[in-house]
Amino acid sequence: MYDAIIVGGGPAGSRVAGRLAEKGHKILVLEKREEVGGKTACTGIVGMECVETFEIPDSVILREVNSATLFSPSGNTLHLYRREPQAVVLDRAAFDSRMAENAREAGAEYSFGSHVTNLSIENDGVRVAIDRRGKIQGITGRVAVIACGFNPGLLVKLGLGAFKDHAIGAQGEVEAPHLDEVEVYFGDMAPGFFAWLVPATPPLAMAGLITRENPGLYLKKWLAELASAGKITPANVPIRYGGIPLKPLSRTCGERLVAIGDAAGQVKPTSGGGIYYGLLSADIAVAVLNGALEDDDLSARRLARYERAWRKKLGSELRTGYWARRLFEGLSNRQIDRLLERVKSAGIDEALLKAKDVSFDWHGRTIMQLLKYQAVAKTISRIKLPFYNT
């Protein structure tokens, strides 16, 4: 019997696997893909705080980011620049592979091509049925960690409930030979959300967007517009999709069960980024699980320490971000134009860039700083919030 069975070999799952294995626990990671890594719908941008906290090696970093240009619906621009790097673009395939390699070196086992078909929680452990290349196998463990990303069906089946709000991301790899910084676009190409061009290894770049529905159609149309404008090289681009939880689950643990990362909804509602918060929550889960395994107490009550700890760390940030997300969706194109114009004309962008407490990783701070400016407060005061489940 394994001490912990981890469903999902992404960064958060591998982080838990490696750290628990280092502490002497017998760990198995079930990954449905044939190998860790590969193309994803994730852009792979993380802040410098994440890089430093988790000692992300240079070998998996494609480039540093210290500037970005925001495009309003009417085509006006707002350029943001800091002398020091604020974020990096990760090679997601290399990063995921490195995280898994670290876990295996610590002693964790990986089973690739393993699709979980059933997971049941029983008094004496967890039982997992997997389809491994057409063969059904059963595996037992003391506790299960769900780290398989956006998987609503499995979460509901396990009794953790459903996500109350989510969106869908779509992304493709394009050639953009003249792109030298991150570009973010607002408007009809991604209603209520945004689109992006992110430089990777020249001349390649990642082009993607987030919407509530039909992301593929929106992305194809936008890529055609970019090609017509000479921003990218025309091509038939394969598109990858991914669900993005905008609110965390109301419950992320239970008897012999813990959910982390995107599977728990530990994602920035403003940008859809989940790598950093997933890794932070993974470490919180490790601390709780290690003690629970050593004490042989994997009850819902004991594992609730994880719930309390991660919400103390991230809860306020996620609530503020979700409020801002709903607020932004209430803006018309004209209001977005006006907001960016006022931020630029009032020098708010320069003031925020100079503020030391404004961080790439903690958007709540930036949101609260913005609200202090009369020009911003006046613009958003007339906005009627859209209704979504709260």
Q: What pLDDT is attached to residue 371? A: 75
How many Å apart are CA 37 and CA 137, to the nearest integer?
A: 24
User: Is the Cβ–Cβ distance between 285 and 302 less than 8 Å?
Assistant: no
| pLDDT-based confidence at residue 287 (cuts at 50, 70, 90) | very high
**pLDDT reading at 121 higher than 50:** yes
DSSP H or E segment with residue 44: none
**pLDDT reading at 388 higher than 90:** no
| Its pTM surpasses 0.85 | yes
Residue 50 lies in a domain: no
Contacts of 75 (CB under 8 A, 6+ apart): none
The CATH number linked to 68 is: 3.30.9.10
How many Å apart are CA 162 and CA 160, to the nearest integer?
A: 7
How many Å apart are CA 222 and CA 195, to the nearest integer?
A: 9
**How confident is the model over 50-55, as a mean pLDDT?**
97
Residue 150 lies in a domain: yes
The residue out of 186, 210, 244 marking a domain boundary is 244
Residue 387 lies in a domain: no
Q: Which of 132-141, 293-302, 331-340, 345-354 has the lowest mean pLDDT?
A: 345-354
**How confident is the model over 324-344, as a mean pLDDT?**
92
Verify that 306 and 260 share a domain, yes or no.
yes
User: Is the Cβ–Cβ distance between 41 and 208 less than 8 Å?
Assistant: yes
**pLDDT reading at 390 higher than 50:** no
How many domains is the chain built from?
A: 3
**pLDDT reading at 183 higher than 90:** yes
Contacts of 66 (CB under 8 A, 6+ apart): 81, 82, 83, 84, 85, 86
Whole-number average pLDDT of the chain: 93
How many Å apart are CA 101 and CA 299, to the nearest integer?
A: 31
**Spatial strand order in the sheet of 204-211:** 77-81, 67-71, 182-185, 195-199, 204-211, 166-175, 240-245
The distance between the two most distant Cα atoms of the chain, rounded to a whole number of Å, is 64
**How confident is the model over 348-367, as a mean pLDDT?**
81
Q: What pLDDT is attached to residue 225? A: 97
* Residue among 212, 189, 228, 219 at smallest CA distance from 75: 189
Percentage of the chain exceeding pLDDT 90: 83
| pLDDT-based confidence at residue 359 (cuts at 50, 70, 90) | confident
Q: Helix, strand, or coil here: 16?
A: helix
Verify that 137 and 206 share a domain, yes or no.
no
Residue 251 lies in a domain: yes
Verify that 177 and 189 share a domain, yes or no.
yes
Residues in the chain: 390
The conformation of residue 58, written as its DSSP 8-state character, comes to G
Verify that 154 and 263 share a domain, yes or no.
yes
**How confident is the model over 50-60, as a mean pLDDT?**
97
Contacts of 101 (CB under 8 A, 6+ apart): none
More confident position, 350 or 182: 182
Query: pLDDT, tens digit, for every residue of 238-282?
Result: 999 999 999 999 999 999 999 999 999 999 999 999 999 999 999
User: Is the Cβ–Cβ distance between 96 and 46 less than 8 Å?
Assistant: no
Verify that 173 and 70 share a domain, yes or no.
yes
User: Is the Cβ–Cβ distance between 146 and 157 less than 8 Å?
Assistant: no
- For residue 182, give its domain range: 58-90+166-244
**How confident is the model over 81-97, as a mean pLDDT?**
94
Verify that 110 and 150 share a domain, yes or no.
yes
Residue 52 lies in a domain: no
| pLDDT-based confidence at residue 378 (cuts at 50, 70, 90) | low
Q: Helix, strand, or coil here: 174?
A: strand
Verify that 221 and 251 share a domain, yes or no.
no
Please name the residue ranges forming H helices in the chain. 11-22, 48-53, 92-106, 152-157, 215-228, 275-294, 300-329, 333-345, 348-354, 363-371, 374-380
The residue out of 194, 214, 244 marking a domain boundary is 244
Verify that 253 and 351 share a domain, yes or no.
no
Q: What pLDDT is attached to residue 382? A: 57
Token digits of residue 235: 């091509």
Q: Helix, strand, or coil here: 212?
A: coil
**pLDDT reading at 387 higher than 60:** no
Verify that 137 and 282 share a domain, yes or no.
yes
Query: pLDDT, tens digit, for every residue of 12-48?
Result: 999 999 999 999 999 999 999 988 876 677 899 999 9
Verify that 79 and 174 share a domain, yes or no.
yes
How many Å apart are CA 370 and CA 349, to the nearest integer?
A: 9
Verify that 132 and 203 share a domain, yes or no.
no
Q: Which of 1-15, 63-77, 243-257, 329-343 has the lowest mean pLDDT?
A: 329-343
CA distances from 134 to 8, 113, 115, 116 (A): 19, 10, 10, 12
Q: What pLDDT is attached to residue 389? A: 45
Residue 300 lies in a domain: yes
The CATH number linked to 155 is: 3.50.50.60
Q: What pLDDT is attached to residue 363? A: 85
Print burial letters for 225-241: b (CB count within 10 Å at least 16), e (below 16).
ebbeeebbeeeebebbe
Percentage of the chain exceeding pLDDT 70: 95
Verify that 237 and 249 share a domain, yes or no.
no
Residue 260 lies in a domain: yes
User: Is the Cβ–Cβ distance between 149 and 262 less than 8 Å?
Assistant: yes
Residue 389 lies in a domain: no
Token digits of residue 88: 């990096």
**pLDDT reading at 385 higher than 70:** no
Q: Which of 28-37, 218-227, 352-361 has the lowest mean pLDDT?
A: 352-361
The residue out of 203, 222, 244 marking a domain boundary is 244
**How confident is the model over 149-174, as a mean pLDDT?**
95
**pLDDT reading at 379 higher than 70:** no
How many Å apart are CA 380 and CA 335, to the nearest integer?
A: 8
Print burial letters for 266-290: b (CB count within 10 Å at least 16), e (below 16).
bbbbbbbbbbbbbbbbbbbbbebbb
